[in-house]
Amino acid sequence: MNRRLPAEWEPQSAVQFTFPHKNTDWAEVLDFVIPGFVEAIEVVSRYEKVLVVCDNIEDVKSKLLHVNKESLILVEIPSNDTWARDHGGITIFEDGKPVLLDFVFNGWGLKFAADKDNLITRRLFDNNIF
């Protein structure tokens, strides 16, 4: 079996963000943090698809007014935190075909809850987002 991890410059189907909400570690600074997420999503949406996992689609949609709508995929899935790099799926190629890997993030040694985050990739896959 031939396996390989694609390089960061290779084509990808989307960039995943997990949007902050009142039940994340950002709760006390949401007003400060949300504009940064919005700006990042707006910029990325100019160049490729953006997948935004959020706790309330209508609320998040109302904040993403300048996002390229053709590039936006909003999915309502509960989350503990926003660090998609910790809980997002990883794609590898096996014999030239993409395979999505799902794994368990332990919340920095169970220092932080990650039970909802650990279900995100499976729920995206089950809802045919990937």
Q: Measure the CA–CA gap between 112 and 80, rounded to whole angstroms.
A: 9
Give the per-residue pLDDT at 130.
67
Q: State residue 112's pLDDT score.
A: 83
Q: Per-residue pLDDT tens for 17-44?
A: 999 999 988 999 999 999 999 999 999 9
Query: What local confidence, expressed as pLDDT, does residue 74 receive?
Result: 97
Q: Which residues contact 96 (CB under 8 A, 6 or more apart)?
A: 2
Enumerate residues 6+ apart whose C-beta is below 8 A from 46. 68, 71
pTM of the shown model: 0.91
> Do 73 and 129 form a contact (C-beta atoms < 8 A)?
yes
Q: What is the pLDDT of residue 107?
A: 74
Which of the residues in the chain have pLDDT under 70? Answer: 130
User: Residue 25's pLDDT is what?
Assistant: 84
| Distance, CA of 111 to CA of 83 (rounded, Å) | 15
Looking at residue 109, its pLDDT comes to 82
- What's the total number of domains in the chain? 1
Distance CA 28, CA 22 (A): 8
Question: Given this model, what pLDDT does residue 47 score?
Answer: 94
Domain that holds residue 19: 3-126
Residue found under tokens 């794994």: 103
The Cα–Cα gap between 102 and 88 comes to: 8
Q: What is the pLDDT of residue 113?
A: 87
Query: Residue 117's domain is classified under what CATH number?
Result: 3.75.10.10
Looking at residue 111, its pLDDT comes to 83
